[in-house]
Amino acid sequence: MASIRLSEKHGVNPTVPRCYFCGDDKNEVLLLGKLKGDAEAPRGVYDMEPCDTCKGYMEQGIIVISVLDGDCEDPSNPYRTGGWAVLKEEALEHMGINPPELKAQILKARWAFVPDEAWDLMEIPRVGIKESGNA
């Protein structure tokens, strides 16, 4: 049985994780207990495990997320510029992604950040699935 050290200020110190891919809150609560300095649990902690909706999209195709060109401040989570789409694998095959190892990595991961310049060259609409009513 796992034990949790309670925070003197915040008790079990709960937070709601967010899906890293779509940004929506997940339908779960994380109980963090006492953090360093007895800090309050942060709000909106991103979780790399996709939510059920994004898992479904990843089964259908590849999630692509538009990001600011040249944003290298945090390559693991660059500034997102609002474009969000799901591409069929066949579409990815026709885009001429090089090197081939990159395309293989994207197909395995089932998602990719796409810089705005490349997004526009690929002519991917900037309206997301949720905004277009297809969610």
pTM: 0.77
pLDDT of residue 132: 45
Q: If pLDDT is split at 50, 70 and 90, which confidence band does 130 have?
A: low
* CB contact set of 38 (below 8 Å; sequence gap of 6+): 7, 8, 9, 10
pLDDT digits (tens, 9 = 90+) for 11-48: 676 778 889 999 998 888 776 767 777 777 777 788 89
pLDDT of residue 121: 87
pLDDT digits (tens, 9 = 90+) for 82-108: 899 999 998 888 887 888 899 999 999
